[in-house]
Chains A and B, each alone.
Chain A
Amino acid sequence: MMDKSMEKNALKTNNPDSVQSLKASLQKRFTSRIGENLIGLILLACAAISVLTTVGVIISLGSETISFFADPLVSIWSFLTDHQWTPFFSEKHFGITPLIVGTLLVTVISLVVGIPLGLGAAIFLSEFAGDKTRRYIMPILEILAGIPTVVLGYFALFSLTPILKTMITGIGTQNALAAGIIMGFMILPTISSISVDSMQAVPGRLREAAYGLGSTKAEVITKVVIPAALSGIVASIILAMSRAIGETMVVTLAAGARPMITFDPRDAIATMTAFIANAAQSDQAAGSVGAKALFAVGATLFVITLVLNIISHQVVSRFSEKYD
């Protein structure tokens, strides 16, 4: 029997060993393909976490905001038009205008400080600094972006404000100006790094053509490089603005928690982020209107920064000049 079956096998193929090994390797292939697919699925699942994050943000902001507006004390109309924001007082008002104005005030100050600084740094790094200087200066500017915001917030409150007090009369212990100035420095790296990239992307022949027409270096920069890099510069400014609006610690510490409609940079104000930070620490019951107000302000903040980020990206992709 044994002999016969072996003969049969031998008749089918000349070498039974190679059949075995082929089978084994096919088997291995098959299992490894299952493994490959499994790995692909795991990777996909990880990639999906970022989508889930977005879904989570929308659900958490959306559901509580809806129940905030469902409260009899609140209406969308009063949210948008009321001039007072006093969710924790006995007489509650839910008008977001003071928070928006406060945010706007600090953001404008930070842009007034940050745009010239950021652009100046970008011009220096892209046009004047040598490769070696750039390699040393760039990380230093990154450090500025890396200092924890709580540190800068206390610096604004305890170091910058006393200096400002000696120069400006009527400035409060907490004020929009100090917070805005420090935030201007915080957005400097955002503006400069993106602007440097877009200025470096301006092709050399444009500069050379301008030099050939007898331009000085300053004229090349201001009349050729900057206009050609404008889309990147504008995008960086919009992105910086979104950063400034979303920044929390500096404004919470240095600008205060007083929701006011004022355009005086010496006053204490409250931004949207500062309200959220303070509301998180107050002892509001989880289901109360005051606690829900936190989510409504968060939703407003989210929508504003999202719109700015999308605009910033659109500016780059629609208006950037393509040179081949």
Chain B
Amino acid sequence: MDTRKTSLLKPSEHAQLQARKRRGQLLRYLSVIPVVLALILIVFVFLTNINNSFVWQLVKRGGSGQTFSRAEAPNAEAAFKLELNARGLSQEEMSKTLTDPEERRKFLLRNRADYLLEANGQPNRVVVYTIDRGMADDIQDQYGFIQGLRQKQALLERAKAENLDLFLNPLLDKDFLTRNNSAKPQMAGFRTAIIGTLWVISLVIIISTFVGVATAIYLEDYAQKGRFSNFLEVNLRNLAGVPSIVYGILGLYVFVRAFHMQKSVIAAALTLSLLILPVVVIAAREAIRAVPDSLRQASYGLGATKWQTVSRVVLPNAISGIVTGVILAVARAIGETAPLLLVGGAGFITTIPGGKDFLFDSYSVMPLQIYSYFATPDQAFKEIASAGIMVLLGILILIYLFAFVIRARFARKW
């Protein structure tokens, strides 16, 4: 028997029901689209930057540097030796330059070994690129990894025809992390920015954790519920919504100018600390609130004072939530650029903060450095910025993973 006949519905009503169900399915599929699009965007951002971090460069070499064959110089170390030898250094001077850490660092600041796919009409050569010999290399063209791979043959032929050097330059390599920044794209490194970020963020962690957790404790366990604590709450909520660049203006006016800190590490750290303070307080309050009152009362019942209860019962039990909150807030501070354009702004810096007065040194941090790479007229810096972006994203991913591990492993349910 046809099911439709057993149904109480008329055929028209049945069709209507089917249409309604179909519409229901449609909503389901439609609602997946945003999630898929968001995923595609994230993947695309990563892939683009990875692609740009490994570039094929066509270089017109300045100066008359010599190249070595792969057989002569199988690695960078061998190439350096050959190059130093060719410069007429004695065996002793050579080994000193390459083994003494300080000498080696100085040497690596000015020299790098590049493996060329095509040079002077010969394939597979190694060259030692040196800055101070006036070899102003001129990057004629550069292509992202995939684009270059697709037209590798054409690139090889062009290099041969125009007598250019062709090489696959892994911008994102060990040297990139250990070299200071430089005006020459071939020698630009990210160390200045990484160490600058380390200084600034260490201070931000100390300041924002102390002040943020103290504020949270005050609001949860000390403040009497009343007008003042209400006012504090409303104030924090509104601060959380203030655009980050307004914090930059605050930092410029108060720290840089009124407190005469100039554009220094400490001014940046204080500005970023205030910026993430509301986020830290909100996260810490949630963690503290999650500790059940029965624990507090048990502690008071044993004769503990308020601070004893807070420091030995509440905080230890809320610590995983607090740490997760601080980590996520700090991750935001690491990526923040806008406020630092006002309180730092020094885009091009080749030294790292150090010495006794490091707090008042000028600095650069990773996002600012990336911004300044792009702002440089030299197009070659665009790809170096991508390498910088990969470092920044890599560090942020590690931090997020760390936060999730802490949340998963140490979170307590009451």
Q: Is the pair A121, B38 in contact by a Cβ cutoff of 8 Å?
A: yes
Question: In the complex where A150-B370, A151-B393 touch, is A47 in contact with B245 (Cβ < 8 A)?
Answer: no
Give complex CA distance A173, B37 in Å: 24
Tell me the bound Cα distance from A273 to B248 in angstroms. Answer: 11
Partner of A57 from B37, B210, B250 at Cβ < 8 Å? B250
Contacts of A35 in B (CB 8 A): 307
Inside 8 A of A116's CB, which chain B residues have their CB? 34
Q: Does B215 contact A (CB under 8 A)?
A: yes
How many residues on chain A are close to B (CB under 8 Å)?
85
How many A-B residue pairs lie within 8 Å, measured between CB atoms? 243
A148 neighbours in B (Cβ, 8 Å): 334-337, 367, 392-393, 396
**B338 in the interface, Cβ–Cβ < 8 Å?**
yes
Q: Are A36 and B42 in contact (CB under 8 A)?
A: no
**A118 sits at the interface (CB 8 A):** yes
Q: Looking at chain B's contact residues, is the secondary structure mostly helix, strand, loop, or mixed?
A: helix
Q: Which of A46, A116, A143, A149 has the most CB of B within 10 A?
A: A46
- Interchain nearest-CB distance for B40 vs A (Å): 10
Give B184-224 interface residues, CB cut-off 8 Å to A.
Answer: 210-211, 214-215, 217-219, 222-223
Contact of A301 among B45, B243, B382 (CB under 8 A): B243
User: Closest CB-CB distance, B54 to chain A, in whole Å?
Assistant: 16
Contact of A140 with B by CB under 8 A: yes
**Is B218 a contact of A44 with CB atoms below 8 Å?**
yes
Q: Quick check: is B331 within 8 A (CB to CB) of the other chain?
A: yes
A23 lies within 8 A of chain B by Cβ: no
Pick the interface stretch among A3-11, A70-78, A212-220, A260-268: A212-220
Establish whether residues A46 and B218, one from each chain, have CB atoms under 8 Å apart when the complex forms.
yes
- Beta-carbon contacts under 8 Å, B346-383 to A: 347, 367, 370-371, 374, 382
Q: List 18 A-B contacts (CB under 8 A).
A: A35-B307, A43-B214, A50-B235, A50-B236, A56-B254, A61-B246, A120-B33, A121-B35, A146-B400, A148-B335, A150-B370, A154-B370, A154-B389, A245-B243, A273-B243, A277-B338, A302-B246, A305-B243
Please report B residues at the A interface, Cβ cutoff 8 Å: 20-21, 23-28, 30-35, 37-39, 41-42, 44-45, 48-49, 210-211, 214-215, 217-219, 222-223, 231-232, 235-239, 241-250, 252-254, 257, 274, 277-278, 281, 305-307, 328, 331-332, 334-338, 341-342, 345, 347, 367, 370-371, 374, 382, 385, 389, 392-393, 396, 400, 404
Given contacts A124-B34, A239-B241, A281-B341, 4 further A-B contacts (CB under 8 A): A151-B45, A151-B335, A249-B371, A298-B245
